[in-house]
Structure 1
Amino acid sequence: MSEETLLVFPCQFPIKAMGKADVELDLLVLDIIRRHTDSVTKDSVSTRPSKNGTYLSVTVTITATSKPQLDAIYQDLSGHPHILMVL
């Protein structure tokens, strides 16, 4: 399998996760991402509720160091039952 990518590492990379607003989704997403990187700061996290407040999107911008790192983050986020979508 090829590890080709158009990204040049290290680079700033935003990761967005969405889920129900009834859980502390921002803390959950941060916990998962921090397993893979220590480049997360308060300034690198933003949240946005849906129009009716049912859902929440959490965007975390990290300093990505490799494609396997990004793949592992996406896999962990996608595999969590409270996270409905990852972009």
Structure 2
Amino acid sequence: MAEKDSENTTNPPLLEFPCDFPIKVMGETQDIFSETIISLIQTMLPEFNASNIEMRASSGGKYISLTCTVTVTSQVQLDNVYRLLTSHPLVKYTL
């Protein structure tokens, strides 16, 4: 039986770029949360349109989640947006 040559096996990319990609950002409910997230995303993606955000409060109202649909041109760009968001003190989780 022939062994697989792992060097010649490539997995297809999970995403094709450019693409629209939804990022969910969660944090405690604060007046500045959504403005801060929009600002952060726009530092990396100046063309980001804030109307591409869906906002939802938790059942108790303590937390808020924003689903921000961003247009990215590469996996590196997407990873950089995630890094920027997760490093901010207002952000609890990103998905």
Q: TM-score range by the shorter chain?
A: 0.7 to 0.9
State yes or no: 1:15 paired with 2:19: no
In structure 2, the gaps of 5 or more residues are: 1-11
RMSD value, Cα: 1.4
* Structure index of larger Rg: 2
Offset of 1:5 from its aligned partner? 3.2
In structure 1, the gaps of 5 or more residues are: none
Pair 83,23 (structure 1): closer, same or farther in 2 beyond 3 Å: farther
Give the whole-Å Cα distance in 2 for the aligned partners of 1:5 and 1:32: 27
Q: Which moved more, 1:35-44 or 1:16-25?
A: 35-44
Partner deviation per Cα, 1:35-61 (whole Å, 9 max, x = no partner): 111332233111100001100001110
Match of 1:57 in 2: 65
Aligned counterparts, 1:6-85, within 5 A: 6-85=14-93
Number of corresponding residues = 84
Percent identical pairs in the alignment equals 36
Give runs of ≥4 in structure 1 deviating > 4 Å: none
